Structure 1
């Protein structure tokens, strides 16, 4: 069941037309702690019995990434997507497992504000 009350206002506030397909994509993303690929979102929708095409998934993710609702990362050479919090933030991304942490500090170094910082999370460091 799509959570219209949760996702509808978020899409509308971002100026994105609320469609069932976009709501479904957001539901799938919300179920994951780690970023996931468009192909994985598509597969999960198909497994739920939804007939949403892969191109539709890519378009939904692209429009939501442009609006700042989701963020696109590259993990192991593949684009992956994750829901983002509404506050301005940057991301700490584990190169090994792909885990993403949001950081809301406004660190500016030599005129640059970090958007993504890649490193190794504590769990992967211990392995």
Structure 2
């Protein structure tokens, strides 16, 4: 069973859902009407946070699950939790200013790459 990885998956989806709600709230606060995606810096940062999270999920989620299946559920979940922490740091920093997004981006990027490299290595080892 992959209970811990399942939990991290659900938490990552909850965070993504939160970013979607944040964009909607930001539209209301800043007066940026749909379908516009620009017009106010606060809205544009909220939108980019959501979109960047979405852009990383196809890298993160399959890597998370393949790592859990081929290596370890607890280790995958721990690295996945670090990814979520990085996304939260990215959200917090980028919400304040674009220049503050770097540390969170680095944390989540390293976590995602660790999951991907681990999963790739484990799959390749089983092919040989």
Q: Which has the higher contact order (CA 8 A, sep 6+)?
A: 2
TM-score range normalised by the length of the shorter chain: under 0.3
TM-score (norm 2): 0.23
TM-score (norm 1): 0.23
Q: Which has the higher strand share?
A: 1
Q: Which has the higher helix share?
A: 2
